[in-house]
Each structure stands twice: as C-alpha cells, then as structure tokens.
Structure 1
C-alpha cells in the first residue's frame, strides 16, 4: 500500500513538473580560456577535481589501451562542453555512466561532448573516456611546445612523457590549462620485469599473469602540464627530508650508481629551499632520472625529471639546476600560473632567482656574477622573445626566466631580504593549491612593503628595453 501511494505521488509530481530539473538556459561551455599565446587551450563551464588515468603498456607496439575518468563540477548550466585532446583514437565517451555524443576537431585539438541531458550549475559529474594512445602519433599542433614536437620519449624498455606547456592532452583528454588544477591517480600496467613511475605516492601494486599494475596518486591538486608517466628499468632511491618528508627517487638502473651523489644531496636542497619559502607543499618529493635523452629538466609535480647523464651527474655545482626544479614545486606546481602568456614569469623567475641565491650560499658562484651576465644580455632576450609579461610565442613563454629573475632580485634589493621573504611566503600561502596572476603578486608586494611598486613591475614586465637595476648603477644592459 505504501509503495503504491508513493508511486502515485511521484506520478502526480512529475505531471506538474515538480521533479523535473530546472534550467534557465543551458549553454555550451567555452572552448578556450583566452590565453593570448595558446589561443585554443583550456575550456570553460566546469572545474576539474580529479583525473583517474590508466595505460596498458605492451612492448613492441606504440599503441596502449587507455582510459580516463574526469570528476568535475559544472560552473554553469551546461548543454555541452569541450576537452583538450589529441589522443589517437576515441572509443567511447560516457557522462555519469550514460553514453554521450562526441566529436573532435583536429585544428583546435578539441573533443566536444554533449551529455544526454543538461548538467545543472553546481552539479558534480563524471566523464569516462576509453581511447587508444599512440606514442608515435604526431598531431599537427596549432601551438607546438618545442621545435621537435616530441612529448612521448621512447626508450628501449619503455617511455617517459614531457607535458609542458600544453601537451598533457596528448596523454589524456582533459582541461589542459594551469588555471584548472586537479588531483591525479594513474594506473600503469606493464610487464613484470619493468617498472612504472608517476606523480605522488605509490598507492597499490598488483601482479597477475606476468603483468603488474602500479597505482600512483597525488594528495594535492597539480596542473596538468606537471603530470608525468614513465615505464622502464628504474632503481628506487629512498631517503628522508626535513620533518620526515618521504623522498622517493627513481633513476634508470644503468645510471643509478653514477647519479647517487646528486640524489643524496636532495635532503639538503629541500632544507635550504624551506628556509626561504616555508614547508615543502606536497606529500613527497624526488627525482626521475631517465636514460638516453629528455627534452629539458622539468618540474613534474613531486617528481622533477632529468636526463640522468646531463642532469644528475658531473660537477656538484650543477645541483643548482636541481634546486631550480625544486623551487618550481612551490612556484609553478603548488601555485600555478593563471595564464601562460601573462604569468609564466611567476614560475620561471622564482625558480631561477633562488637557484642563483643557492649558488651564492653554497660558494659555487657569487649570486651577482650570474645575474649581471643575464642583465647584460637582457635587451637581446627582450628583442627575440618579448618582455617576460608579454612573451611573443609558445617557445618564448618558457623563456621568461632571465628578465623575471632580475626583476625579483631588484625588488629584493629595494625592500630588503626580510621583507622580500615575507612577500614570498605570504604570496605562496595565499595562493597555494590555486592559480595566481601577475596582479596577485603585485598586490601582495605592495601591501607588505608599504609602497607602490606597480610602475617598477610594469617597466620590467612589459618594457621593450631593460630598466635600471636597483642598487647597481654600474650595471649596463647590452644593446639588442
């Protein structure tokens, strides 16, 4: 009796529209975020909370059965939405467990998804995508991140990925923009005689039928460009950092012994950076050392990645590069940039400044020696790449290092080291696990210094020529 009454009541409610979801006017989410250089990158209408990515690696083929689940929240009433994607082959797309219509557009590297029903603003929803990864697939990108356009680095025993700035969507569809950070879980299935490595901590490891699945996960949200996936023969080198911080490094086995001195230096590096910026922001840290080449040292979140031979061996003074990538864990990873084209200096400038200060503190090279050399070259960099707040192109975005480090060093000179440290630590605490803009940093600097340095920042960030260096009237920039 109770069930029939309930059914009747439900039927009556539906007949007058009580139970029907109300949408004022559901519309498609934006298919870009207005980045001046990466004009097609990013997507609007939702916020990603978590990615769950899976790869099935099999030797002898570049193809991998792959899948991603994206947990997101609608920020508007959505009739449809887009994702960044250049994956080789899409098998299916489901939204909240139901098949969804989808189409791709190669020219903009987009995957457009239309759920079978609109998504209300504030609704949490899940997108499940089955696809095939092809590590030899070379899409004609509208904005290649480097001249070689290589982001799957093949190795005799596996591969390693390089995602910065806009290539994570070659590995998995998503909102591939640093302003939308998310936690990531990865499941990588490999033959049991090789290992898999990814961001965060090892959550699970299961072997069945001669194949092993490694599950890694991050505790904190990270930008997609700092996700890394690797397969190969690795030796794990574990240690403890300050306050018991777990340090987990994985180095290609053939290079592990020669790299050990550099890896052993990581605890002291973390301690030094913590004195400048405050506690390390993630649950673990370490380095991934690969054998046989990598595009550049890269600040992958929790796992800075290097070519082991060139990045983790040689003169111990080269550990300054390791510190550069370590500082990115604070600036670039925990605090990501709001726009590649406008704010990348926040990441690169800080990493380079502290690597110079580290060299000075350790006696490798006086801090001002390297900075003066950069100052003398700065006009030339501005002519070729543009000023740090207005880089000319996708390659220049990654080259905002020099001018921004000089600008921050000048600010430090004007306000004094103590006030500068308060600015840095306050800015980091305020924007940790968020994306920050240039104006955000200027606001914090002005507030804590008690002076208005807006004009100073604008001269350095947007000027066509190198401004004077505070405290160094004898420094002269070279001519472009």
Structure 2
C-alpha cells in the first residue's frame, strides 16, 4: 500500500502512486465535483464514484458546508496548554456517504495539519483555501458509514473580522484561556467540519487542561478525570445535534454557579472567578426569563441551559446552544440592557438553535424573533415602549432596505446589519398587527413545535403562517421580506417610512 501525503497550504504535489488513484475510481470528473452528483456510463451501468461537492451553494457563502455525506457525530480532543499557546488537537468525524464518494471536503482553516485517515487508513489531504480535500484509499460506498480522523495543531489566537455586528470571530482569547465565537462560519477555525447552519450533528468534547482551570462546552458534563502531570480531562456531550456556528468551547478560571431548576430545566452558569459577585444580580434572573418565554413559546427545547460570561473585550453576545456567551460588559451595566441581552440569547434557543436556518438568507427569522421578544419583555419589565421602537424601525426601514438589503435578501457583507435585527422584528410586528396577537402567538408556537430539532426556511414560515391564520400570508409577507420599499403598516396609517 502506497504512502499518502498530507499537503498543507496551496501545494499541488501529486500522491506518490498515481496508478492507485485510478484503482480507487477517482476520475477527476470536474462537472460531478461541482454538482456533487453521480455519473453513470450507459443504460444500467454501475455508478462511478465521484467527488462530493465542495460547498452547499448557500447564496451568501457558497463554499460553506460540503456535499456527498452527512455528519453523524463529531468527537473533539483538545490538549489545552496555556493562553495564546498552540496545542495538539484531534477531530474524529463519523459520517455517512450520500453517494458513491471518490473524495470529499471538510471546511478547515488556519491550523497546522498533521495527518488524515479514513476508516483508519492514511488518506491524501490537500489544503485549498478554507477547504480540506480528502481522497480516501478506496471509494466510499453510498449509505455506508465512515470515520475521518484529523490531527492538527490548533492556534487559539486565530480569528477573523467582519464589518458588521459580529466583529471578531473564531478563537477569542481571555486573560487565562479562551472562548470561541464561531458565527457565522468560524467553526472551521476551531475544527474540521461541515460548517453550515443547516448541517447539524451531536458533539463529544474531551478537553484536557492544567489543574486549576475549568473547561466548558455545550451540553452536559459527563466526567472530570485527573490525568498525569497535574492535568484534568473534561468530557462534555452536546446530547442533541448542534450547528457548527453554535458550538462553544471555553477554558479559564471559571466558577460554576447553579440556579434553581426551572420547569424541569437545570440552569448552570460559568463565570470568571472575579466576576461572580458583580454579575450575579442579573444572571439570577434567568429562571424568570425562562418562565416568561415558555408561557409564550412552549417548552424549552433542550435539556439544560446556562450563560457563559466572556472575560473579553468582545462586544457581541452569541446564542451558543444551551450555553449562551454573554460578554462581561453586558452584565456590568444597567439591568434593562443586561436583561435585553439575556432574553435575546435565550430566545435564540428556540429560534436559530432548535429550529435551524436552511440558508443564511433565513437569518431574519432567528434574529428578528430574538429582537421581537427581547423588546416585548423589556417593555413589560420597565424598559422602552415596544411600539415606539417599532415605529422608529418603520421610519428607517426603507433606508435599511436600501443599505443592507431586504430582510430576507441580505448580502454577505450586510448579513449582520441592523435590518436583520430591528428591521426583521418589524416584519414580525407587522404580521402580528395583520393577524392579531392571539393568532400570531399560535403561529410562533406552531413554528417552534413543528420544526423542533429540524431545519426550516422562510418559505416554511410563510406557509405555516398562512395555514394557521387561514389567510394568504404569501401576498402579505413577500413585499415585507423581499420588496424594494416598505409596505404600509397595518393599523398604523400615520406611520411614515423615510423614502
């Protein structure tokens, strides 16, 4: 058996045994590579293995995600050393081929690659930008499981920047460790993955740290084991499938703070040791937030919840599944502002986490609902008028529409701009004005119930709204979501949108 080479950077070196490539059925069918389809020769001929598509064709991030397989589970092993210090890592990806597969891609960026195996056999691996192109020794049969193991050195200082609400994403250093901010497509800086919000899988995390530090991840703490050399291995299980953009891994001097179990949901926050007392007054409000949201949306969709306080200069919170990341600045200010952030990220557990995005153009559903209920809660608890906020949004809506795209038609640079927040909450407010508060609540409850644990799109929401209301919501919502100008607001003929 020939030796297969791991090629980093933009190297195009050929494998050591060209003849073996032909044996494996890798015909370099470029058309099939683009489509991710399968090629047949002659009527009734045997299917020839072809490459999986290098991306899912998302309108905003066409190369995010990969075709030809689905991930069944990720297992991540991180040997954490010290802040801003590279460490050894291993990702084991259990997947199932959805076609006869000659090669496939993983989204993977910026780490030093060591080895790649498929089903325990060394595989050729070539870096092409943010893609890791893997060619196994033998083609992978359709509908059969396979296992990819990637070893690499992770760089906990690697991050990228966006000129919108996201700002910095990827690894976010803290004084004594790290948190991660993978949204929108920064998971590939953390581990090799199928990095698109519509592709979800459960994750096992095994993080080894020096004694005295705490490791945290999504889901449930399974074990804490002493290891040689004054080290500790922390094992977490996400318990339910999670989108890569919602994965959380944190290391630092953290205190676990348990809150009262609420409606059967255990609540545990992780707070930097020196911030526990200063943040407790606001963090202890989570049970109240959870009860308020369950009254409107139904049962919380996961098995546990908590807040991870980020000891960083990061200005943006993130709805990482079951463990929302909230920067310390949001918890050291006013109660109104702190609660708005806490409620916003908790709402996302229903909208965006449990009901995942089909494409990034559906982000308005996630951010719009989070902003809608955040403002509604705030009004009921001493904050600003919800209607006044919506009137202000209506005034600016045409400007946002022109500058940032219609709510359901963002461009990649404008994805996390104002239109996806207040501008999208305004669409939901218009729907509530159209159908009435009672019917609107039925629509939202049906949405998070019918699509719980699934992926859904804007068109799915419009169809459900039509079915629940008994009216054609397509003709009402389409101009709001896609039109060139903002439609009149039902029940508010005096509201005027700036041209």
Q: TM-score, structure 2 length as denominator?
A: 0.87
1:148 positional shift: 5.4
Secondary structure of 2:415's aligned partner? helix
Q: 1:23 to 1:284 in 2, by over 3 A?
A: farther
- In the alignment, structure 1 residue 317 sits paired with structure 2 residue 340: no
279-288 or 205-214: which moved more?
Answer: 205-214
Counterpart residue number, 2:256:
236
Counterpart residue number, 1:122:
143
Counterpart residue number, 2:213:
194
- In the alignment, structure 1 residue 112 sits paired with structure 2 residue 133: yes
- In the alignment, structure 1 residue 327 sits paired with structure 2 residue 347: yes
Q: Residues 442 and 454 of structure 1 are in contact (CA less than 8 Å); yes or no, is this contact kept in structure 2?
A: yes
- In the alignment, structure 1 residue 350 sits paired with structure 2 residue 350: no
Secondary structure of 2:103's aligned partner? strand
1:135 positional shift: 2.3
Counterpart residue number, 1:85:
108
- In the alignment, structure 1 residue 136 sits paired with structure 2 residue 171: no
For residues 249-281 of structure 1, the C-alpha deviation after alignment (integer angstroms, 9 at most, x for no partner) is 001111111100111100010111111111001
1:64-83 pair list within 5 angstroms: 64-83=87-106
- Return the alpha-carbon distance in structure 1 between the equivalents of residues 118 and 66 of structure 2: 17
- Return the alpha-carbon distance in structure 1 between the equivalents of residues 233 and 197 of structure 2: 28
Aligned residue among 172, 193, 207 for 1:174: 193
- Return the alpha-carbon distance in structure 1 between the equivalents of residues 119 and 333 of structure 2: 52
1:151 positional shift: 2.2
Q: 1:113 to 1:161 in 2, by over 3 A?
A: same
Counterpart residue number, 2:274:
254
- Return the alpha-carbon distance in structure 1 between the equivalents of residues 300 and 332 of structure 2: 24
Q: TM-score, structure 1 length as denominator?
A: 0.90
Tell me the C-alpha RMSD between the 2 structures: 1.8
Counterpart residue number, 1:436:
456
Q: 1:61 to 1:311 in 2, by over 3 A?
A: closer
1:348 positional shift: 0.6
For residues 10-52 of structure 1, the C-alpha deviation after alignment (integer angstroms, 9 at most, x for no partner) is xxxxxxxxxxxx9622111111111111122111111112111
1:270-419 pair list within 5 angstroms: 270-308=290-328, 310-318=329-337, 319-340=339-360, 342-397=361-416, 399=418, 400-419=420-439
Counterpart residue number, 1:13:
none
1:347 positional shift: 0.6
- Return the alpha-carbon distance in structure 1 between the equivalents of residues 445 and 139 of structure 2: 43
Gaps of 5+ in 1: 1-21
1:197 positional shift: 1.1
- In the alignment, structure 1 residue 36 sits paired with structure 2 residue 59: yes
Secondary structure of 1:383's aligned partner? helix
- Return the alpha-carbon distance in structure 1 between the equivalents of residues 369 and 271 of structure 2: 27
Q: 1:266 to 1:148 in 2, by over 3 A?
A: closer
- Return the alpha-carbon distance in structure 2 between the equivalents of residues 407 and 114 of structure 1: 46
Counterpart residue number, 1:264:
284
Aligned residue among 206, 226, 229 for 2:246: 226
Q: Which runs of 4+ in 1 moved over 6 A?
A: 143-147
For residues 337-360 of structure 1, the C-alpha deviation after alignment (integer angstroms, 9 at most, x for no partner) is 0101x2111111111111111112
Counterpart residue number, 1:211:
231
1:170 positional shift: 0.2
1:16-55 pair list within 5 angstroms: 24-55=47-78
- Return the alpha-carbon distance in structure 2 between the equivalents of residues 54 and 395 of structure 1: 35
Q: 1:55 to 1:23 in 2, by over 3 A?
A: farther
Q: Residues 344 and 398 of structure 1 are in contact (CA less than 8 Å); yes or no, is this contact kept in structure 2?
A: no
- Return the alpha-carbon distance in structure 2 between the equivalents of residues 85 and 194 of structure 1: 27
366-375 or 246-255: which moved more?
Answer: 366-375
Q: Residues 45 and 74 of structure 1 are in contact (CA less than 8 Å); yes or no, is this contact kept in structure 2?
A: yes
Q: Residues 145 and 395 of structure 1 are in contact (CA less than 8 Å); yes or no, is this contact kept in structure 2?
A: yes
Q: Residues 23 and 120 of structure 1 are in contact (CA less than 8 Å); yes or no, is this contact kept in structure 2?
A: no
Q: 1:338 to 1:144 in 2, by over 3 A?
A: farther
